[in-house]
A and B are shown apart, each in its own frame.
Chain A
């Protein structure tokens, strides 16, 4: 019985959301606002349970006086962050935000260098390893083609995102046209970006289609249960 009640709740919400296909309407908005409220409430509960209690309350309750002293720093930062929400003390909020900005920037720099730049650049370079080319006899031409396409594609994609700026003598920033080679490589890059986005589109579309089929099956299943046929 309990499952059936929850099933009906899911059925009603599903129909309300799918009603968007015939246009924006009051049922869709109703379901969307329920979703926003529920997600916000759940996120608040998770933030309190997973962050506020273990990182702030537990050290204060279980720790000694030394821990207490250490917790004065985050307590001060939290107070400044809360104070910063009032326009009168807006500048107070800049210190905790600066703390977060510095931390995020350092993590982003480390992640960009060690997590992306080095591994991705290495993958492009390793495609030119002759040992890999001759690993499968008779297929070396395919490996060479793979490596060349990889190199041209990556350089082309990067060229497409080239937004060069030049500061002229009177301190005006100009955006000159990129060199002809860069433009040509950018065109090749566009094709590769299109291919990547096309493949991503196909995956997302397939997943969305599976979700649509799943929802239709779910609606059918609950209706069958309700009329006693399931």
Chain B
């Protein structure tokens, strides 16, 4: 009985938004209100999530657990970025430099580390997964795609070789299309289960 109000809210909001796909003109005002409030709630939920992050590091710092120094660094940088962003605004040159130079440097470097990690992981693939249709398809496709990405085999589209290269380039779309359809069917089923109140991710089942 305790869950009933939550189920009513979930089903009512879901069905109204779903009805909006068919009665756009009639429901546009209500839909815009529902979506705006949803965005606001998601934003507040995001801030609560960040609050939990800060609380976690604060607890680690207070209890002087292992890695408390790194928690202190995280908290100091977090507070500095937050206060500077709110007082100086995000358009301030110092703030822009701070975000760009730290974020871009770290993200690009992490991507660079990924190149090496990926290379070692791909070399270990057969040892860990064995010779399966998927691992064979993966290796052949990765090798051919890397060679094609280098510009090798660039021929005019009219020739047979050109057509075959174009056919190979279209081949990954087949699997991607199957994966997308599978994801959409999965999303559709989960969505319908929530809308019918059979699945309740907002509280205990």
Which residues of chain A come closer than 8 Å to B170, judged between CB atoms? 146
B98-154 at interface with A (beta carbon < 8 Å): 98-99, 101-106, 108-116, 118-119, 122, 132-143, 145-146, 149
- Whether the pair A44, B50 counts as a contact (CB closer than 8 A) is yes
Q: Return chain A residues, CB-CB under 8 Å to B137.
A: 190-195, 198
Q: Does A223 contact B (CB under 8 A)?
A: no
Contact of B141 among A9, A113, A194, A214 (CB under 8 A): A194
Partner of B181, one of A77, A121, A211: A121
Contact present for A194 and B105 (CB under 8 Å): no
Q: Does B42 contact A (CB under 8 A)?
A: yes
A215–B109 contact, CB under 8 A? yes
**Interface residues in A, total, Cβ within 8 A:** 116
From A37, A52, A106, A150, give the contact of B177 (CB < 8 A): A150
Return the chain A residue nearest B38 by Cβ. Answer: A103
| Contact B178 A156, beta carbon cutoff 8 Å | yes
Contact present for B17 and A51 (CB under 8 Å): no
A48 contacts B by Cβ under 8 Å:
yes
A74 and B37 contact, Cβ closer than 8 Å, known pairs A37-B73, A191-B133: yes
Query: Is residue B3 contacting chain A, with contact meaning CB distance below 8 A?
Result: yes
Task: State which residues 159-200 of B face A: CB under 8 Å.
Answer: 163, 167, 170-185, 187-188, 190-192, 194-195, 200
Question: B79: CB under 8 A from chain A?
Answer: yes
Are B44 and A198 in contact, CB atoms less than 8 angstroms apart? no
A194 touches B135 (CB 8 A): yes
Decide if A45 touches B42 in the complex (CB within 8 Å): no
Question: In the bound complex, what is the Cα–Cα distance between A70 and B163 (angstroms)?
Answer: 60
A195/B141 in contact, CB under 8 A = yes
A157: B residues at CB distance < 8 A = 174-175, 177-179, 181-182
Other contacts beyond A32-B106, A45-B90, A192-B174: 16, CB < 8 A? A37-B80, A40-B81, A42-B85, A45-B81, A55-B43, A94-B3, A105-B195, A106-B15, A109-B191, A120-B177, A139-B163, A150-B174, A154-B181, A157-B178, A157-B181, A199-B141
Q: Which 8 A-B pairs have the closest CB atoms?
A: A157-B178, A194-B137, A41-B81, A198-B141, A37-B77, A196-B175, A45-B85, A51-B43
Seen from chain B, the residues whose Cβ lies within 8 Å of a Cβ on chain A are: 2-3, 5-7, 9-18, 21, 33-48, 50, 53-54, 67, 70-71, 73-82, 85-86, 90, 97-99, 101-106, 108-116, 118-119, 122, 132-143, 145-146, 149, 163, 167, 170-185, 187-188, 190-192, 194-195, 200-203
Can you list 5 A-B pairs, Cβ within 8 angstroms, ordered by A? A38-B103, A78-B40, A103-B35, A108-B188, A192-B174
Q: Which residues of A contact B (CB under 8 A)?
A: 2, 6-7, 9-11, 13-14, 17-18, 20-21, 29-52, 55-56, 70, 73-74, 77-78, 81-82, 85, 91, 94-103, 105-117, 120-121, 123-124, 139, 142, 145-146, 149-150, 153-158, 160-161, 187-209, 211-212, 214-215, 218
